[in-house]
A = this chain, B = another copy of it.
Amino acid sequence: MPSEFRITRTVEFSETDMAGIMHFSNFFRWMEACEAAFYRSLDLPLISFVPGNVVGWPRVKASCEYKVPLRFNEVIEVKLLIKEVRSKAVVYIFQFRKTEAGQTLPVILAQGEIAAVCVTSDAQGKMVAQPIPADVRAKLEVAPPAAYGE
């Protein structure tokens, strides 16, 4: 039962802005990419549109603190930590750190948080919150607060 997960990713030219740094909105895309890779690693579908078994995870809150800018071609580790698992929602923390020569440096460049609620589709096709499916819940473990420095 993992409580954390990591991906490594390179800052792309199209992700920079005229200030020469990664645009602040793109950190949220990276967080979501890390979440998706986490679900693939668990062999769980993040999203399912199978009629009768629709599952989605719309975001109810997202935030990010920016400490050091990211620049083109930098190689960055994004680390996901599970902060909270509620009956119908999960809260993730994401930490961004630089890697050099395959080593992750300790400094946190940015730290974000996403709260996602588990939904399905009702008979009218409307999204409604649902308990996290048991097979998903079984694979999610909350990280100890010390793991993300609280």
Interface residues of chain A, those whose CB is within 8 Å of chain B, are: 10, 12-14, 16-21, 23-26, 28-29, 32-33, 36-37, 40, 46-47, 49, 56, 58-67, 69, 72-73, 127
Please judge, given known A-B contacts A62-B24, A64-B62, whether A14 and B40 are in contact too, CB under 8 Å.
no
Contacts of A24 in B (CB 8 A): 28, 32, 58-59, 62
Point out the residue from B12, B47, B63 that lies within 8 Å of A33, measured CB to CB. B12
| Given A13-B36, A18-B72, A40-B73; A58-B47 close (CB under 8 Å) | no
A69 to B21 alpha-carbon distance, docked (Å): 19
Contact check, A66 vs B60: say whether CB atoms are below 8 A apart: yes
Knowing A36-B13, A61-B65, say if A29 contacts B25 (CB, 8 Å): yes
A102 → B minimal CB distance (Å): 15
Q: Which residues of B contact A32 (CB under 8 A)?
A: 12-14, 24-25
| A60: B residues at CB distance < 8 A | 65-67
Nearest B residue to A39 by beta-carbon distance?
Answer: B73
